Chain A
Amino acid sequence: MTKFLSALALAAFGFCHAHAEDVSSIPAPAAPGPATGLADSAALRATVFGTPPQDIAPLPAKVPLLEMDLDLPWRRPIPAVFWFDKRLRVWLSAQDKPAPLAIVISGTGSDGNTAKLATLRAVLYGAGYHVLTMPSPTFPGFIVSTSSTGVAGDLRQDGQDLYAAIGVIIAHLPHKVKITDIDVLGYSLGGANAAIVKAIDAKEHKLNIHRAVMINPPVSLFATVGRLDKLFARTLGNGDAGIERFYQQLYAELANLYRASDRVELDEDFLLGAAASALKTDAQFSAAIALTFRIALMNVFFAGDLYSGAGVVVDPRHPPGVGDSLDEISRTLRTKTFGEYFSRIFAPYYLKRRPNSTVDSLIADNRLELIEDQLRTDGDYYAQTNSDDLILDKAELGWLRTTLGQRIVVYDHGGHLGNLGDRQQVADMLAMLAGRWPGGAQ
């Protein structure tokens, strides 16, 4: 495996040099609109703190949980530093009678067992579905175990990898699980992934996916992440100095809160309370949001660099080993933007592999317009979003409305996912999935 990796790395490094000129000339995608999209102050707050627990829809007392680790036949050789990500891990909550299967896909950078997925799993299981929760194709565990490229973030490629993985998972479900129908859902980037998966299935007919529900989906991936770059630069500054300053302020704030408390240990309860009092201004909320996405990007960037051999942060001739320190690499990575990921890793990789593609066509391929016809004409696509979602701008929200017509519901408040799991969102989602939504296919 090491031999293969070295060969791959050398070849890729050669490529990187040969194309150095082209690569540096690829511009970061444009990000129109304000850095916080449609979000106002309340929306930023809701995005950070999520749905208040008292607003969550009724939940069942018990939900069974089965973890499935899958070794996929097309898995690429595992780089040494990713030794723990060999298998795709998904979670199944099965009914003990025949039932429809709801497949739920996670948001940017997240695994298949987040708190948001746990909420969706609970309400769907309570409504009588078998529930399968899956990681985002941008989760490092997915990139390593399932991606056929290692360069995540391409809607079509990620959709195909997801679709193939779902096929294997369904073939290996425990025998007692009887499926009557299949629906797909996802939140944030996972919403877009879910819609693409259904569109792929409409061509290939391997799974016969019935309905798709997108919860707070992006419309244009690269416009959204471009805005997140802007948000990061505005709230934390460029380079390492801004991150260092934010860390120092946060450290001082936490130390003072801790000193003022009479606790003997810095535990989760303290941190929850501290977050509520340390995060108050729009700038602080924005910084927290920007930082969350930056941390997700670090993994995507690192894996993409390693697999494509671009050599931006990892020397492809000397990839880090299991016991090697990644301190330096992580310090470099935290200053890297989505724009750099696009221009130095993503675009060079896909431009080389897709004949006739251009930078503009790559950006266009990463918009939901990719499946505009299906979204417009197939009555089984649905969406739920908020009029103050920070990952959308006015034009994008308008496009969603005109394309989906009656099959989209837009709530007034909630920011990005700040109302996921609340009573209204859940009731509407279940109505959409059951074909009870006005305007949808019956």
Chain B
Amino acid sequence: MRRSRLEWLCVAAGAVLGLGGCAAQTVEFHHLPPDTPAASNAADIAKMQRLAASAAQAQKAQTQPAGEQAPAAEAPPPVTAAEAPSMKTYDPWGRLNRFTYRFNARFDEALFLPVANSYRRLPSPMRSGVHNFFANIAEIDSVINYTLQGRLGRMVRSLGRFVINSTIGIGGLFDPASKMRLPKAPTGFGTTLAKYGMHPGPYLVIPFYGPSSLREGIGLAADYGTLYVIDPAWTYRGDQSWGLGVLNAVDQRSNIDFRYYASGSPFEYETIQFLYIRKELIEDAGLHRQKRLPRADPNVPAGE
């Protein structure tokens, strides 16, 4: 049953991609969801105020008398320029990755993004309900992984969020926990692997999903496996799980402000590869904040 559906999906995706590639008119119109400049500007103002407030707070913490500061032993050793990884990136599967990146770009343009854009026309409360619902289910995975990482404070926070949002938040449709100063801080198996010292490894572009690394790829599979076994709210097994899986994917896509090749640049692959691996490595440095990083070897590509 499942296999036949998968095959059907692949055929449908192939047909759409093929047709998309064959279209040849002088002009093609894409109706996008309208811009909301006034609301975006208000959000920008709020964001700037938040940033200014947190910068002021950091300033205040710095200027406090030495006695009130955290003990020096807890201050992480600063990362120095010599510890920055090479500008080259470890990408032994480059050819396959480039192929997958191109496939993802075409799939996104022909099917995924248009669907996500249509979805963005639905009323905002409906969409945030969907978003909260899936985020709440992912909270289970966060609880498990914070436990594995030995970060009990964060584990309690995720558990608290899950309990509050599942009950007061009506099965996760609302997010009252964030209003109770328990902001979302998801984690996953990939971060657990990083916590235990695994390097990102080769850069990896995952079909339909996008930029990743071998470590994050394994992490994603494990996250999925965990939730598949638990099957919270029947979202991962059974016929309805297909529809819910698609809804989850569309919700995620509609919240990512990225357009393949909007840069117009042939170096887009290199740019994203570069930024993605640096992002992972900086997050790793944050996970191991008490450790001094090893001096980087400019001949060893980043991520290896």
Contacts and interface: CB of A to CB of B under 8 A. Distances in A.
Contact of B87 (A73, A113, A247): A247
B185 A264 contact: yes
Given A67-B32, A68-B27, A252 B80 contact: yes
A259 B37 contact: no
A312 interface: no
A412 interface: no
Contact of B186 (A119, A249, A264, A330): A264
Given A66-B31, A264-B186, A330 B267 contact: yes
Nearest to B285: A255
A71 B26 CA distance: 5
Interface in B70-98: 76, 78-85, 87-88, 91, 94-95, 98
Contacts of B105: 84
A269 interface: yes
Interface stretch (B3-11, B225-233, B237-245, B257-265): B257-265
Nearest to B78: A256
Interface in A237-282: 244-245, 247-249, 251-252, 254-256, 258-261, 263-266, 269, 272-273, 276-277
A269 B47 contact: yes
A59 interface: yes
Contacts of B54: 273
Nearest to A87: B28
Contacts of A63: 34-37
Given A172-B27, A259-B289, A111 B35 contact: no
A254 B29 contact: no
Interface in A278-323: 298-299, 302, 322-323
B294 interface: no
Contacts of A66: 29-32
Contacts of A65: 31-35
B269 A245 contact: no
Interface residues of B, number: 67
Contacts of B36: 61-63
Interface stretch (A9-17, A48-56, A203-211, A362-370): A48-56
Contact of A56 (B41, B78, B283): B41
B270 interface: yes
Given A245-B81, A251-B278, A259-B79, A81 B87 contact: no
Contact of B27 (A69, A83, A142, A273): A69
A245 B225 CA distance: 43
B44 interface: yes
A281 B24 CA distance: 51
B182 interface: no
Nearest to A90: B27
Contacts of A258: 282-283, 285-286
A67 B261 contact: no
B266 interface: yes
A337 B45 CA distance: 37
A84 B264 CA distance: 7
B300 interface: no
A399 interface: no
B38 interface: yes
Contacts of B83: 252, 255
B69 interface: no
A174 interface: yes
Contact of A118 (B35, B99, B265, B282): B35
Contacts of B136: none
A60 interface: yes
Contact of A59 (B38, B267, B270, B282): B38
Contact of B270 (A122, A322, A327): A327
Nearest to B278: A251
Interface string B205-239: 00000000000000000000000000000000000
Contact of B79 (A52, A56, A113, A252): A252
Contacts of B29: 66-68, 174
Given A299-B265, A299-B267, A71 B84 contact: no
A408 to B, nearest CB: 27
B198 interface: no
A70 interface: yes
B55 interface: yes
A95 B30 CA distance: 17
B51 interface: yes
Given A249-B81, A258-B282, A172 B26 contact: yes
A140 B264 contact: yes
Nearest to B284: A255
Interface in B84-130: 84-85, 87-88, 91, 94-95, 98-99, 102, 105
A252 B84 contact: yes
A141 B48 CA distance: 33
A201 interface: no
A266 B95 contact: no
A326 interface: yes
Contacts of A71: 24-27
A398 interface: no
A139 B285 CA distance: 36
Contact of B286 (A54, A140, A259): A259
A174 B27 CA distance: 10
Interface in A103-148: 111, 113, 118-119, 121-122, 135, 139-142, 144
A61 B40 CA distance: 9
B261 A85 contact: yes
B22 interface: no
Nearest to B259: A113
A136 B103 CA distance: 28
B282 A254 contact: yes
A263 B191 CA distance: 13
Nearest to B51: A273
Interface hub of A52, A82, A259 (most chain B Cβ within 10 A):
A259
B39 interface: yes
Contacts of A322: 98, 102
Contacts of B76: 259-260
B260 A247 contact: no
A71 B24 CA distance: 8
A168 B27 CA distance: 9
Given A60-B37, A63-B34, A142-B264, 9 more contacts: A66-B29, A93-B35, A140-B266, A172-B27, A244-B87, A249-B81, A273-B51, A298-B267, A299-B264
24 contacts: A52-B48, A53-B45, A53-B48, A59-B37, A62-B34, A62-B35, A65-B31, A69-B27, A70-B27, A70-B28, A73-B26, A122-B35, A139-B264, A247-B84, A247-B87, A251-B282, A258-B282, A258-B283, A263-B286, A264-B187, A302-B266, A323-B99, A325-B91, A326-B269
